[in-house]
């Protein structure tokens, strides 16, 4: 089959991919390849808001946002990139509004903003209203708006084309290989620039907020092509997933005044974060919840706690905290206001739990949510492949798949949507600029061979292993040993198990041998991606002998800036994982003890 | 509980025509229908094919006919349906394989109504202003996830697939009634067509089918009224 040819190929059609496509397509011949219809992308599940210091409701500044993000990252984020993101946040949010995004509004007609964990007034230390929101479906509105604008601007889409390999040639990007789901045919896409925007890999864990599609394809593909993965030991567990299901309950619930309650009816976060309490950052709250459950204060001694947003509870604690509206009057909410601000959350609870959050508290547990680590890039989205940040010409990454790093060891809520729009935009601009002065690299004669070999290995073995069993074993061992709290022995056990599962995958039985929509084959291939990423995550985590952000070790419980204020780079080879390190970029923020 | 799941099956590579297969599965009453389908695919028959992604009703991948009604498989629990469940593809779109239908005609209709914000006036240095009431005017139709449950439950669409369908009208409504948008007149002209809003005979199947509880028939009615009166109110 003749290769397709474009200046710029964008892989993935969530927020970052569509933003990149909008910008790249202004000056370069651009196509978006996505394994899902674009509007199915996981950006659409983001709820609470996008962070930007607009100051629409109270005083705020981009440099406060920068400081909060640096602190939230537990000083592992690169401060130059964080400054860049937080200052670009303000024009980027206005730009979304100009594209028609239906933000909720304030009384004076401006974009509405709500408090979120870790975002503060730097002078008082109190929560600041920085999260720009559209009810509790901000991600949905960003995804829809960007897709609509791409249609308006006639961006080329190849929907349900699953990218399965990256083509490098002469040390530069040359294109990708994609499987067309409807035919099972492999297509070669020849390009000058390739932008990976494929999202995260939370499907490694048993309890996760992530979509089935979140299988780490981008990082797995680039690892196989010799590109390292950065800071993979840092994976965020969001405090409030629906018990057992993992479905996300936005932090916006706590922004509106909801509180976490233990078996004794106690609002326990006052003991762990006396200043901002339930609005501490996510790693802090998830650890507090694990400790409460470990000490027998889970509800009925089960592995969950309660999130209470009943108006009477919100008003009681708001009065105790002395919380005020911007005009100085005491903060109070009604059931109707909660319903108006959190309609989807209420719908989820009614559907899956039969619980009405207006009348009953919600059972919640920490849920695997977000990859801080990923493909290493600089702040222009260019992929950098070693300790000295050498750029791989023509290759870009943006969004959750990338590690800029702006989130460091722990991401603040609302900074993921911000990451998508800011770095999606700059990756798109840079990729088009590069494509307009570069020439096409020659394609190898055997561009599809590498992936054919992988598929053939899955299809042609005579084993009887079930991919579902292998996947469940991976999720279970990673949940037990490589989640909120970690120890040397537990992680060793997980690593051995993951390596055993990789062996078992070689004997997997794929039940579907057909061509058309063979999702059985693709899901099995995705499981191989998850296993590779589970291995890299565990090896990176074992090596890091400190606790920082989302990486909390019981055997090394303190942060160790002298030895570990550095980024992990992990290469995956035949003989296992090789680790090297690169320094964190520091501008003006000296590491301090992190207290909320 | 034991569930008998009767599933529409069609594999174009092996089957001359569609048939049904019944699988008996142990399920929890709180399982989603999607969980049951995943179990069957994982342990009983890897060829069973369906789309899914978010698994909690926001991505719109897994609209199916479940016991004769269009639902998202991830948003309906087994206990709501009982021990006999029938799962079939949504109607009016060509079946490619099992529950997977050709979504292109659906998206073509969507793309035909200018489903994007139009306003070429110079932008202010900050956000455009919009009152809470103006924003509320089109709130309901911003919730659409393009799952096609509405359009493929509509008898008018079953009769003639050139009808643009409820989902496309909902997405036109979202912009027509947005105080910031300037493309309303053009969209109303597009929908004032023999295959536009007048194919809607207010049967309300779409409203019942919508997993996002959008008042679809009402939105279509508002667009009809705007065409008839030339006014947006």
CA torsion through residues B219, B221, B226, B227, sign: positive
Pairing of strands A402-403, A375-376: parallel
Instruction: Determine the pLDDT at residue A405.
Output: 95
How confident is the model over A20-29, as a mean pLDDT? 98
| Total residues found in chain B within this entry | 233
Residues of A in contact with B128 (CB under 8 A): 97-98
Task: Tell me how many degrees the CA angle B64-B70-B73 measures, rounded to the nearest 5.
Answer: 45
Q: Do A511 and B111 touch (CB under 8 A)?
A: no
Q: Judge contact between A368 and A167, C-beta under 8 A.
A: no
Location of each CATH 1.10.1060.10 domain in chain B: 104-229
CATH superfamily of the B2-101 domain = Beta-grasp domain (3.10.20.30)
* Distance between A152 CA and the closest CA of chain B, angstroms: 6
Q: Domain for residue A574, yes or no? A: no
Helices within A438-560 (DSSP H only): 449-460, 467-481, 488-505, 519-543
* Counts for chain B of helices (H) and strands (E), in that order: 9, 7
Q: How many CA atoms lie within 13 A of A38 on its CB side?
A: 31
Task: Find chain B residues with C-beta within 8 A of A45's C-beta.
Answer: 54, 56, 58-59
Asked if B59 lies within 8 A of A245 by C-beta distance, the reply is no
Task: Look at residue A263 and tell me whether its pLDDT is greater than 90.
Answer: yes
A362/A263 same-domain check: yes
Instruction: Assess whether pLDDT exceeds 90 at residue B230.
Output: no
The 10s digit of each residue's pLDDT in A43-61 is 999 998 999 999 999 999 9
- The enclosing H or E element of A284 equals helix A282-294
Q: Which CATH architecture has domain B104-229?
A: Orthogonal Bundle (1.10)
Q: What is the CATH number of the domain that holds A457?
A: 1.20.58.100
Clarify whether residues A255 and A363 are in a common domain. yes
Alpha carbon distances (Å) from B86 to B35, B46, B78: 15, 19, 11
pLDDT in tens, A195-204: 999 999 999 9
One domain, residues A244 and A345: yes
Q: What is the pTM of this model?
A: 0.98
Q: Hey, how many other C-beta atoms are within 10 angstroms of the C-beta on A292?
A: 23
CA-based nearest residue to A165, from A221, A228, A214: A221
Per-residue model confidence as pLDDT tens digits over B99-156? 999 999 999 999 999 999 999 999 999 999 999 999 999 999 999 999 999 999 999 9
- Write the DSSP assignment of A341-361 as a string of letters: H-HHHHHHHHHHH---TTTSP
- For the record, the structure tokens of A428 come out as 């798109």
The one-character DSSP state at A460 is H
Q: Helix crossing, A519-543 with A467-481: angle to 10°? A: 20
Beta-sheet strands, E only, within A77-223:
113-120, 127-132, 156-159, 161-169, 172-180, 186-196
DSSP E strand boundaries for A245-385: 259-261, 305-308, 362-371, 375-376, 382-384
Question: Alpha-carbon distance B36 to B26, whole Å?
Answer: 9
Mark which of A304, A334, A368 sits at the end of a domain. A368
Instruction: Give yes or no for a contact between A190 and A176, defined as CB atoms under 8 angstroms apart.
Output: no
Domain count, chain A: 2
Q: How confident is the model at residue A269 (pLDDT cuts 50, 70, 90)?
A: very high
Provide the annotated active-site residues of A: 282
**Pair (A354, A249) in one structural domain:** yes
Alpha carbon of residue A415 to chain centroid: 10
- ipTM over 0.90 threshold: yes
What is the 8-class DSSP label of residue A445? Answer: T
B89 pLDDT higher than 90: yes
For CATH 3.10.20.30, the residue range(s) in chain B are 2-101
Collect all residues of chain A within an 8 Å Cβ-Cβ radius of residue B131. Answer: 105, 109
d(CA A531, CA A505): 9
* Residue-level pLDDT at B140: 98
Separation in Å, CA of A212 to nearest CA in chain B: 5
């Amino acid at each position: 089959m003749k290769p397709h040819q474009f200046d710029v190929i964008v892989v993935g059609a969530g927020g970052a991919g569509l933003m990149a496509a909008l910008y790249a397509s202004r000056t370069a011949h651009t196509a978006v390849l996505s394994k899902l219809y674009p509007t199915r992308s996981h950006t659409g599940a983001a709820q609470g808001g996008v962070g930007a210091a607009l100051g629409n409701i109270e005083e705020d500044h981009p440099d406060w946002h920068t400081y909060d993000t640096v602190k939230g990252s537990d000083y592992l984020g690169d401060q130059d990139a964080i400054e860049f993101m937080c200052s670009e946040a303000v024009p980027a949010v206005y730009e979304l509004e100009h594209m028609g995004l239906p933000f909720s509004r304030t009384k004076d007609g401006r974009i509405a903003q709500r408090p979120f964990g870790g975002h503060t007034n730097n002078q008082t230390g109190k929560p600041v209203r920085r999260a720009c929101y559209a009810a509790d479906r901000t991600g949905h509105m960003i995804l829809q708006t960007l897709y609509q604008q791409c249609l308006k601007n006639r961006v080329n889409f190849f929907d349900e084309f699953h990218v399965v390999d990256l083509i490098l040639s002469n040390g530069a990007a040359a294109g990708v290989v994609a499987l067309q789901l409807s035919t099972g045919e492999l297509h070669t896409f020849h390009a000058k620039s390739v932008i990976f925007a494929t999202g995260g890999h939370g499907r490694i864990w048993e309890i996760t907020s992530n979509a089935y599609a979140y299988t780490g394809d981008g990082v797995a593909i680039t690892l196989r092509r010799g590109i390292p993965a950065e800071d993979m030991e840092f994976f965020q567990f969001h405090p409030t997933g629906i018990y057992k299901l993992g479905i996300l309950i936005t932090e916006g619930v706590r922004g509106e005044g909801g509180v976490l309650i233990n078996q004794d009816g106690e609002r326990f976060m006052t003991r762990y974060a006396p200043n901002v309490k339930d609005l501490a950052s996510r790693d802090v709250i998830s650890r507090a919840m694990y400790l409460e459950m470990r000490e027998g204060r889970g509800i009925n001694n089960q592995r969950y706690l309660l999130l209470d947003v009943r108006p009477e509870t919100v008003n009681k604690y708001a009065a105790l905290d002395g919380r005020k509206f911007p005009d100085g009057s005491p903060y109070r909410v009604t059931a109707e206001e909660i319903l108006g601000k959190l309609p989807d959350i209420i719908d989820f609870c009614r559907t899956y739990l039969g619980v009405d959050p207006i009348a009953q508290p919600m059972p919640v547990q920490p849920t695997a949510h977000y990859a801080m680590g990923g493909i290493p890039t600089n702040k222009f989205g260019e992929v950098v492949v070693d300790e000295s940040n050498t750029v791989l010409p023509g290759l870009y990454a943006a969004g959750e798949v990338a590690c800029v790093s702006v989130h460091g060891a722990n991401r603040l809520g609302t900074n993921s949507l911000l990451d998508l729009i800011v770095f999606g935009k700059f990756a798109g601009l840079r990729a088009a600029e590069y494509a307009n002065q570069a020439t096409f690299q020659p394609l190898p004669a055997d561009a599809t061979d590498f992936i054919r070999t992988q598929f053939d290995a899955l299809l042609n073995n005579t084993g009887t292993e079930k991919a579902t069993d292998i996947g469940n074993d991976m999720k279970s061992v990673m949940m037990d040993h490589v989640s909120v709290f970690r120890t040397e022995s537990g992680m060793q056990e997980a690593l051995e198990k993951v390596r055993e599962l990789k062996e078992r995958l070689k004997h997997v039985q794929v039940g579907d041998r057909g061509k058309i929509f063979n999702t059985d084959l693709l899901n099995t291939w995705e499981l191989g991606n998850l296993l590779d990423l589970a291995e890299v995550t565990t090896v990176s985590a074992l090596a890091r002998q400190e606790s920082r952000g989302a990486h909390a070790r019981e055997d090394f419980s303190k942060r160790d800036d002298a030895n570990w204020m550095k980024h992990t780079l992990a290469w995956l080879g035949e003989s296992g994982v090789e680790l090297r390190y690169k320094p964190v970029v520091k501008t003006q923020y000296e590491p301090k003890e992190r207290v909320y | 509980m034991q569930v008998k799941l009767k599933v529409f099956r069609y594999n174009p590579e092996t089957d001359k025509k569609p048939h049904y297969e019944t699988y008996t599965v142990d399920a929890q009453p709180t399982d989603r229908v999607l969980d049951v389908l995943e179990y069957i695919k994982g342990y009983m028959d890897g060829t069973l094919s369906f789309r899914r992604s978010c698994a909690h009703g926001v991505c719109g991948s897994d609209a199916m006919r479940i016991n004769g009604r269009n639902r998202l498989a991830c948003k309906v629990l087994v206990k709501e349906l009982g021990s006999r469940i029938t799962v079939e593809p949504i109607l009016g779109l060509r079946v490619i394989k099992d529950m997977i239908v050709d979504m292109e005609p659906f998206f073509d209709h969507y793309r035909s109504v200018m489903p994007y914000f139009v306003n070429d006036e110079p932008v202010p240095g900050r956000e455009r202003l919009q009152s809470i009431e103006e924003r509320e005017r089109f709130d309901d139709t911003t919730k659409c996830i393009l799952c096609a449950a509405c359009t493929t439950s509509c008898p008018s669409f079953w009769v003639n697939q050139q009808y643009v369908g409820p989902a496309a009208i909902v997405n036109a409504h979202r912009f027509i009634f947005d105080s910031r948008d300037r493309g309303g007149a053009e969209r109303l002209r597009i929908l004032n067509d023999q295959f536009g809003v007048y194919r809607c005979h207010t049967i309300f199947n779409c409203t019942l089918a919508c997993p996002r509880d959008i008042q679809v028939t009402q939105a279509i009615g508002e667009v009809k009224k705007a065409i008839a009166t030339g006014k947006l109110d």
